[in-house]
Amino acid sequence: MPDSDTALTIGQVAERTGLSVHTLRFYEREGILTHPVRRDGGGRRLYTEHDVDWLTVCVILRASGMPLPAIRRYTELVTAGAGNEAERLTLMRQHRERVTNQIAQLTRSLDLINYKVGVYEDILGA
């Protein structure tokens, strides 16, 4: 059972999060990690399970269209610790609205797409 002491290489984290090693380094530069990554003697990154959990959250936020600056801001708030929950809530609510709007828009688009699929199926089925 992996506990929070487990040290993971960047390659292992890439595999677990689905991000490339390039993207992991890029996210770090962009301030998308709650604390600087530990390094081994040779300067190599050592990630924890905690980092993987955080990155997994970030992956989900990205996948739902949250821009990197917003994720960075959220990261900053989490890093700063308790006391800023109001802003975190605002951020999440804003994002929730974007996402629900996006789902609504996609669902509407689906009507047209289904209609077109139906038209072509009819033509080909006749």
Partner DNA sequence: GCTTGACCTAGAGCCGACTCCAGGTCATAC
Partner DNA sequence: GTATGACCTGGAGTCGGCTCTAGGTCAAGC
63-71, 79-87, 94-102, 115-123 -> range binding DNA (CB under 7 A): 63-71
Buried b / exposed e along 56-88 (16+ C-beta atoms within 10 A): eebbebbeeebeeebbbbbbebeeeeeeeeeee
Q: Which amino acid is at 2?
A: P
Q: Mask 94-113, x = binds its own copies (CB under 8 A)?
A: -xx--xx-xx-xxxxxx-xx
Does 61 participate in binding its own copies (rule CB under 8 A)? Answer: yes
Which entry of its own copies, DNA, none binds 25, CB below 5 to 8 A by partner kind?
DNA
**Closer of 29 and 85 to DNA (Cβ):** 29
**Closer of 5 and 85 to its own copies (Cβ):** 85
- Those residues whose C-beta lies under 8 Å from the C-beta of residue 13, and which sit 6 or more positions away, are 19, 24, 47, 51, 52, 55
Considering only residues 12, 34, 79, 114, which one is a binding residue for its own copies as defined by CB under 8 A?
114
**Closer of 18 and 118 to DNA (Cβ):** 18
- Those residues whose C-beta lies under 8 Å from the C-beta of residue 33, and which sit 6 or more positions away, are 27, 51, 54, 55, 75
Does 12 participate in binding its own copies (rule CB under 8 A)? Answer: no
